[in-house]
Structure formats: C-alpha cells, structure tokens
Amino acid sequence: MNPASNLILVGPMGAGKTSVGRHLAGLLGLPLVDADHEIERDAGATVAQLFEREGEAGFRARERAMLAALLRRDGLVLATGGGCVLDAGNRALLRQRGFVVHLQAEVDQQLRRLAGDRSRPLLARPDRERVLRELADARTPLYAEVADLTYAPGDLDAQAAALQLAARLAQHWQRTGAAA
C-alpha cells in the first residue's frame, strides 16, 4: 500500500482519466484537477494550438512545469495527459507525490470513445488506429512502471467505473494528509 494524499490517474487518451476522475473525485470528496486543462488555462491556448506553435517538445516542457506545480498540492485527484509518463522526471514525481492508478483502455475502445474528437494533436493523422497502437506500445510499459494499481473499466460508463474503482481503492490506498 502506498499511502499518499493525492490520487493520480494515468493512461492513454480515451481511457477516462477526466470523466472517471470527475465522478471519483466526487465520491472521495476531493477536487479534480485536469493537467491538460490547467496547461490550456495557463497558456491561453489549447493543447492542439500549443503543439502547432511550440511542437511536442514545447508542450512537454509546459506539461513538466505544470505537473510539478500541481503536485506541490495535497488532497486532489489529478487527471494527467496521456504522454506525461514519457519524461523520467515526471514518472519519479508521480510516484513520490501520489497513489497512481493506471486506467487501461484497449485501442478499439479508444477509437470508439475518440471517434468524434478532433482536438488531439497526436490523432490528427489519417490512420488513428495505427497511431494509438504505436502510442500504446511506447507508453504502456511506462504507465505500468508508475502504477500502484491498474484498473480496466472496460465498457462501463464513467459513473459505474468510478464506483468500481472507489471500491478497489478502499482496499489499496490509504489517503494521508489533511484531506484524509
């Protein structure tokens, strides 16, 4: 058991980090913070615009700084961006500052969930399935490296997945700090 004050959700795009996280935060009485939304708010631009203007490297630098700032806080549910685990420093910070849940999603589930989503710069290509498979190959071992718990919601809706995950967390996570 990893006692921690923060609950951190990692996983691929379309896994439900934000939607499941919103319901989970409500169940736990904690605020949900979405790292990508905070980056957008801080930059005054969307993730897609940041990728276009600064490239992936520029976005990742912003992501690294935002993650460090957010994880100075205690008592939150943090929905990370799918690529935050690419940086070794981010992976160390995630492990140090929270209980990390890897939300899994199969590529076919991601394709269904992201079918109408045109806001994801890494999916702005004709062969989305190939892109998602390549991302999974590169990132899945990194999610596993940081995860205290792995959870696959399957085809459950966000609310049912959050309820099921909350039950699993009750067995695996001891919340510490003022919010405990």
Residues making up the annotated binding site are 14-19, 36, 60, 82, 120, 139
Binding site, annotated residues for substrate? 36, 60, 82, 139
Q: What is the DSSP string of 58-91?
A: HHHHHHHHHHHHHTTS-S-EEE--TTGGGSHHHH
Residues 121/52, Cβ–Cβ less than 8 Å: yes
Binding site, annotated residues for Mg(2+)? 18
Binding site, annotated residues for ATP? 14-19, 120
Residues 74/6, Cβ–Cβ less than 8 Å: yes
Tell me the two tokens of residue 29: 């009485």
d(Cα 123, Cα 107) in Å, to the nearest integer?
13
Residues 23/67, Cβ–Cβ less than 8 Å: no
Residue 116: what are its φ and ψ, rounded to 5°? -95, 0
Nearest to 97 by CA among 2, 1, 4: 4
Q: Cα–Cα–Cα angle for 118, 147, 66, nearest 5°?
A: 55
Tell me the two tokens of residue 36: 């990508």
